[in-house]
């Protein structure tokens, strides 16, 4: 019996200035999808460890199996059956691309099993089918970084053009996950349907400056670009003590601060490992003062996305 395991990491969509457009890849946490062929000619979810207890075992409702099924159909192998075990490292509703990671890990494992007939672009489009079941919105901003790693720029909703952007050497980040849950669909419903000309222009200038900053390694430009006039003003209401945590991060030296995807996870950029640690400490303290429990991590943007792992790498 062949058993194949794929790991897909958490990711942060939007990155303040890039609503539905930018995403970045974290090293941890991540989801693991393990596949082994069965003789039932169908997809059978044998276990889901970690994550919310209400994650569906129905293969037509679970984002990993929906993505796998989409890929199987495209490969002309829809009668191949697999037993599927899912290990959730990323909490659902965290803003860190939990459903995207399961969908990506599923298609990466499947593709490896068949010796990689599908291109990255095809994998993205099948993973998107899984994401669509889970979050009800068609966006690549978590799927792309989870699959491709690094920082990704999405040009269109068809996945025709997705670009990897350079990561400045000194760039560090801190992530804080306050212990509240936000449903992506609820957070999306808050987004205004129209934007003033002034806000549109400034958002264009910010994202253009962000891309220039990454290419030129200019962290001053990066800091100036990290503004969000679209999602943050309405979504911050869903995150308790958002402004206090933001202030703590900026006072501790953050280059910028924002909501990870739909939240509640929050991220801050820093120009050194030390500053990233200082920010982590400052944000923990801000949460502690408000009796808000949270998890935090500091590190760098991970240049590598989803990958096949060995049995030994599964904790």
Binding site residues, its own copies, CB under 8 A: 18-22, 153-156, 160-161, 163, 165, 191-197, 199-212, 215-216, 221, 224-225, 230
User: Of the two residues 20 and 278, which places its CB atom closer to its own copies in the complex?
Assistant: 20
Rounded to 5 degrees, φ, ψ at 15 are 50, 50
How many C-beta neighbours within 10 Å does residue 185 have? 12
* Angle between helix 120-135 and 63-74 (nearest 10): 140
Question: Distance between CA 138 and CA 238 in Å, rounded?
Answer: 22
Question: Distance between CA 134 and CA 139 in Å, rounded?
Answer: 12
User: Of the two residues 115 and 193, which places its CB atom closer to its own copies in the complex?
Assistant: 193
Q: How far is the CB of 187 from its own copies (least distance, A)?
A: 14
Q: How far is the CB of 139 from its own copies (least distance, A)?
A: 10
Which residues 6+ apart lie within 8 Å of 146 measured at CB?
8, 9, 10, 11, 25, 97, 100, 101, 104, 305, 306
User: Of the two residues 199 and 281, which places its CB atom closer to its own copies in the complex?
Assistant: 199
User: Of the two residues 210 and 267, which places its CB atom closer to its own copies in the complex?
Assistant: 210
User: Of the two residues 102 and 225, which places its CB atom closer to its own copies in the complex?
Assistant: 225
Are the beta carbons of 263 and 237 closer than 8 angstroms? no
Burial of 57 (0-12, 13-18, 19+ CB in 10 A): middle
Q: How far is the CB of 214 from its own copies (least distance, A)?
A: 9
């Amino acid at each position: 019996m062949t058993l194949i395991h794929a790991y897909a990491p958490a990711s942060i969509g939007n990155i303040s200035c890039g609503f539905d457009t930018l995403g970045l890849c974290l090293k941890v946490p991540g989801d693991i999808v393990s596949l082994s062929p069965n003789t039932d000619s169908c997809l059978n979810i044998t276990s889901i460890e970690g994550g919310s207890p209400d994650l569906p075992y129905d293969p037509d409702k679970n984002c990993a199996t929906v993505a796998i099924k989409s890929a199987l159909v495209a490969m002309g192998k829809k009668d191949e059956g697999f037993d599927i075990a899912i290990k959730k490292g990323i909490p659902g509703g965290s803003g860190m691309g939990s459903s995207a990671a399961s969908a990506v890990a599923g298609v990466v494992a499947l593709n490896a099993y068949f010796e990689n007939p599908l291109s990255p672009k095809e994998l993205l489009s099948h993973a998107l089918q899984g994401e669509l079941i889970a979050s009800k919105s068609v966006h690549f901003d978590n799927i792309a970084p989870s699959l491709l790693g690094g920082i990704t720029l999405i040009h269109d909703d068809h996945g025709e053009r997705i670009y990897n952007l350079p990561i400045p050497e000194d760039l560090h980040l801190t992530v804080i996950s306050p212990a509240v849950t936000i449903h992506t669909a609820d957070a999306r419903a808050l987004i205004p349907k129209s934007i003033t000309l002034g806000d549109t222009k400034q958002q264009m200038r910010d994202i253009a400056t962000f891309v220039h900053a990454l290419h030129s390694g200019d962290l001053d430009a990066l800091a100036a670009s990290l503004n969000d006039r679209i999602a943050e003003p309405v979504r911050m209401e869903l995150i308790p003590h958002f402004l206090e945590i933001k202030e703590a991060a900026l006072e501790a030296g953050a280059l910028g601060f924002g909501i990870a995807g739909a939240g509640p996870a929050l991220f801050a950029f820093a120009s050194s490992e030390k500053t990233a640690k200082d920010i982590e400490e400052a944000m923990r303290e801000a949460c502690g003062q408000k009796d808000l429990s949270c998890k935090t991590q500091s590190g760098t943007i991970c240049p590598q996305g989803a990958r096949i792992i060995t049995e030994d790498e599964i904790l």
